[in-house]
Every structure is written in C-alpha cells, then in structure tokens.
Amino acid sequence: AQSVTQLDSQVPVFEEAPVELRCNYSSSVSVYLFWYVQYPNQGLQLLLKYLSGSTLVKGINGFEAEFNKSQTSFHLRKPSVHISDTAEYFCAVSPLGGSYIPTFGRGTSLIVHP
Amino acid sequence: GAGVSQSPSNKVTEKGKDVELRCDPISGHTALYWYRQRLGQGLEFLIYFQGNSAPDKSGLPSDRFSAERTGESVSTLTIQRTQQEDSAVYLCASSLMGGSNTGELFFGEGSRLTVL
C-alpha cells in the first residue's frame, strides 16, 4: 500500500516570490510520482511526473520537482509565482505494475497575493 | 470528444433518493477511475475498471455505491438512498494502459452532488 503526505494544507505567498510545496510518500514497492493542479471549478490536470532517470523533473508553467529517494520526498517548486498559479496542488503516487491505482495526498492550496 | 466528459455537472437531491453519475472517458483509454473529493479534502479512490477485467471495488464506502462500465466506454456511478455525507464532487478519470502506461490520469471536471 502507498500513502502520500502533503504537509501544508495552505501556502500563502506574494506574487513573484519563490514557493515550495512539500510532498512525502511511503510505499513498499517502486512508484511513479506526480503533481496535479486543480484550478477553481475545474478537473485536475498533470503538472509533471517522475518515472525514472534524472531526479529533477520540469513541468508546465515553470514548475519543477525533485525526487529524493532517501527522504521519500517529491517537493514541488517554482522560482517566481504568478497570480494565475493560485490553485489546489495534489501530489500522487502510482505503483509500478499491478493495478496502477494512484494514491493522492490531501492537497495544498496555493494562494498568491498581489 | 477530446477529454473526459462527466454529467451532470451539478446535482441536488433529497436524502434517500438514488442518483446516477455518468462518465465518458477519452477514446482508446482502457482504464477508468472514480474518485470522491469532499470539501477541503483530498481525492478518495472509489473504483477502478481496466478493460474487461473484474473492477477493483475496494474503495467503495458502502453497498449503497455501485458502478458499471460498458466495455471500454461509458461508466455510471450509482448511489442509492443518498445520505448527506455523500455530498461531494465525484471525479472520473481515464488512463491509457498497456506497455506504454505511465500511470498518468486524465480527469473530467467532476459532478458536484449535494444531498439535502
């Protein structure tokens, strides 16, 4: 079984400031790692994913995340946020092989202030 | 269509009534998932369909919940005798399975259910 912990339920930040959204996971098997974003009144869409290879992955809208196997973390970062980045961000893990049922974290609400 | 389509987008019902929620996945996606998102909470897995295999129902919270899928197309989630705690957004997602699968899910916009 897998579990995902997003340590911050809400992260307020000023526009153009850097941001980090934290995600830790636990799993007895190897996993794929994902970050999804949910804008108000919309479904979730993929920001980025880690499958294998380089531990630093880049996604859409200037976001990036780093996989740290020893710390079982997959934190999301952006060097300079915009008002339009205000949204809910979900970290997810999906086991390799088997049923491919992703487990999601509780989400982090990123609130960007002008 | 190009994306996952869900209907209705909003549903208000009275306690005790049955409701049906529909999901039309992306064409060619053999995997289909239902999740529940309660206000201020994360996504709760409900059920998973993969091709013609038996569905994984391990996330269904009670026997009032059931889901069907016709082949590799439309799925219907049914909630019988609705309760107020069933109020949530029900999200459907589909995924391309097979050797190239990377586990990425494509989500619909959800069906918001309010039980009065």
- Band (pLDDT 50/70/90 cuts) for residue B99 is very low
What's the pLDDT score for residue A43? 86
If you average pLDDT over residues B30-37, what whole number do you get? 93
Higher model confidence: residue B54 or residue A112? A112
C-alpha distances out from residue A32 to A8, A97, A98, B27, B36, Å: 22, 10, 12, 24, 22
Is the pLDDT assigned to residue B115 strictly greater than 50? yes
A32 touches chain B (CB under 8 A): yes
Percent of chain B scored above 70 by pLDDT?
94
Rounded to an integer, what distance in angstroms lies between the CA atom of residue A50 and that of residue A53? 8
If you average pLDDT over residues A67-80, what whole number do you get? 95
| Residue A62, min C-alpha distance to chain B (Å) | 19
Residue A100, burial from CB neighbour count under 10 angstroms (0-12, 13-18, 19+): buried
Question: Do B24 and B1 meet the contact criterion of CB atoms below 8 Å apart?
Answer: yes
Is the pLDDT assigned to residue A13 strictly greater than 50? yes
C-alpha distances out from residue A6 to A32, A65, A93, B41, Å: 16, 14, 12, 11
Q: Chain B residue closest to A43 (CA)?
A: B109
Is the pLDDT assigned to residue B73 strictly greater than 50? yes
Q: Chain A residue closest to B111 (CA)?
A: A43
Peptide bond into A18 cis (omega under 30): no
Residues 6+ apart with CB under 8 A from B61: B46
Residue to mutate among A38, A45, A52, A96, with most B CBs inside 10 A, is A38
| Residue A18, min C-alpha distance to chain B (Å) | 24
- Band (pLDDT 50/70/90 cuts) for residue B101 is low
In angstroms, what is the C-alpha Rg of chain A?
14
If you average pLDDT over residues B54-60, what whole number do you get? 93
Nearest 5°: phi and psi at A62?
Answer: 80, 5
pLDDT in tens, A26-61: 998 888 899 999 998 888 999 999 988 888 999 999
What's the pLDDT score for residue B113? 97
